[in-house]
Amino acid sequence: MILTLARKELHSLFAAPSTWWMLALLQFILAWFLLARMDDYLQVQAQLAQTDSAPGATISIAAPLAGALALLLMMLTPLFSMRLIAEERRNQTWLLLASAPISVTRIVLGKFLGLLGLLSLIIAAGGLMMLTLLLGTPADLGLIASNLLGVWLLAASYAALGLYCSAITPQPIVAAFGALAVSFGLWLLELGSGVLRVLSPNLHFQNLNVGLVSSADLCYFALFIAIFLLLAIRHLRREQEGR
Amino acid sequence: MTSPVTLSAQHLTRFHGRQCVVNDVSFVLRRGEVLGLLGHNGAGKSTTLQMLAGALAPGAGVIEVCDFDLAQRPDLAKSCLGYLPEHPPLYRDMRVDDYLRFAARLHRVAPARLAEHLQRAKQRCGLLECGHRLIGTLSKGFQQRVGIAQAIIHQPAVVILDEPTVGLDPAQIREIRELIRTLGDSSSVILSTHLLHEVEQVCDRAVILRQGKLIFDGSIDDLRQHSDIESGFLQLTADRTQEETPP
């Protein structure tokens, strides 16, 4: 039942031309970024070779690429997530789901998984791009894996946040701006200093970005996703019950 | 009339904010019956139907569908229900076949029987020719048919139709009414409308709502006994205009 909904969601994401445009643009930017980093690295490679424990190709090229992908997904995920529930309400199709024998929890999970499917595809494409390093040099596959895991968790967090924003408003655009504003705010928290930094998903991504997979970070992401999904479920349920 | 009860609503009440939209409404629906829910605009018809379909939880009251309590066993009760809301819930960017398949899966039709159900629903609603068309490119009449097909694809015991003929041309209205009458052979049907002659033509029984209260529940013949049916309805809802002054 959840999968039926997830598949339908993925299908309708790919039915929109804007999705294809965004995917193409994203690939273009990533490829550009990869080549630019590679260029920089090749220029300083001769000097690096003379120093002890010089940074390798993976941490100089693949890790920044993952950082760029994370930033791009922060901006793109709200555009994908805005329609999930808000548009169903606006088109009155929400009643089809609400009157079907499927609980609100499953609706929310199905939609979340559908969006996560699309994001996973994007991240897989980014991963393939990182693996092109193997054509010219041995790469640190562990570091690449931890980076991909980090981006994936970050994207899933943004998807959960976007889903919640989409659940609380009938206007997709408002949902997109809301999700973007919150994720931008969380990003700024990371740039600042103080205790609040630990709230930012980006801080936890930094660890994975340098290859450090710690259970604390994984728990943080799991909590972040669970909280926003639960908030969305709670909101929809209360709405059905009329406060 | 001794056929089994397929849907029963007891003491339904629902508030929107502080305004009471549906006030202590009770009625039952039996197998093979077509029930007309009649009332003026704003009488609480759509809200009542949304509650029956499980899309809104009633503030108070109990709904049972095929002996399953809608609040306690929502999944079982809802799989016996088909619902067409006021605006057909269509995804404009999907093809008719894909949409109906999705609706069938949502309503737990077994994958092996999917093709059979799809074929039957399309045949009943006259959609055999347009399975590959995008829903957004269909005319309003055909979109309404897709909406009805969606409500009957899992062959539910109870079909709930909210104003199924609004905005259609006379020929389409006649076709939809034919369809509703054939639906009444296999399922129980509730339809809401503010058109009296529609109830007279299609329904076996009528329930009249006024300002959220049930003011009439009986057969069409009973309604006719208020002399002529038109004046009967007007008589029953006569003091509406005095009470319903806009705030």
> Which tens digits make up the pLDDT trace of A86-127?
999 888 899 999 999 999 999 999 999 999 999 999 999 999
Chain A residues whose CB is inside 8 A of the B75 CB are 101-103
Of B59, B89, B105, the CB nearest to A96: B89
Interface touch A98/B55, C-beta < 8 Å: yes
CA atoms of B171 and B150, how far apart (whole Å): 21
Query: Stretch A138-145: mean pLDDT, rounded?
Result: 90
Name residue B95's amino acid. Answer: R
Of the candidates B84, B80, B100, the one whose C-alpha atom is nearest the C-alpha of residue B163 is B84
Listed by start position, the domains of chain A span: 1-242
Q: Which residues, in sequence order, are bridge partners of residue B12?
A: B25
Task: Among A17-21, A228-232, B58-62, B217-221, name the one with the lowest average pLDDT.
Answer: B217-221
Given this model, what pLDDT does residue B172 score? 85
Q: Which residues of B touch A (CB under 8 A)?
A: 14-16, 50, 53-57, 59, 74-79, 81, 83, 85-94, 98, 102-103, 105-108, 150
Model confidence at B240: pLDDT above 50: no
CB contact set of A191 (below 8 Å; sequence gap of 6+): none
Chain A residues whose CB is inside 8 A of the B98 CB are 11
Relative orientation angle of helices A17-50 and A2-15, to the nearest 10 degrees: 90
Of B56, B59, B103, the CB nearest to A96: B103
Q: Which residue of A has its CA nearest to B104?
A: A100
Of the candidates B102, B98, B114, B153, the one whose C-alpha atom is nearest the C-alpha of residue A4 is B102
Question: Other C-beta atoms within 10 Å of B158: how many?
Answer: 23
Residue B188: φ, ψ to 5°: -95, 145
Q: Which residue in this structure is represented by tokens 């039952």?
A: B28
Q: H or E element: which one contains B206?
A: strand B205-210
Q: Which residue of A has its CA nearest to B150?
A: A96
Interface touch B105/A4, C-beta < 8 Å: yes
Of B59, B90, B150, the CB nearest to A242: B59
Interface touch B150/A96, C-beta < 8 Å: yes
Of A4, A92, A240, the CB nearest to B85: A92
Chain B residues whose CB is inside 8 A of the A92 CB are 85-89
Distances (CA, A) of A145 to A63, A201, B57: 10, 18, 47
CA distance B118 to chain A (A): 16
Query: How confident is the model over B183-228, as pLDDT tens digits?
Result: 888 889 999 988 888 888 889 898 988 888 888 888 888 877 765 6
CA atoms of A183 and A115, how far apart (whole Å): 17
Q: Where are the beta strands (DSSP E) in B1-113?
A: 5-16, 19-30, 34-38, 60-65, 68-69, 81-84
Of the candidates B216, B203, B213, the one whose C-alpha atom is nearest the C-alpha of residue B30 is B203
CA atoms of A118 and A124, how far apart (whole Å): 10
CA atoms of B27 and B14, how far apart (whole Å): 16
Given this model, what pLDDT does residue B247 score? 43
Q: Which residue of B has its CA nearest to A106?
A: B106
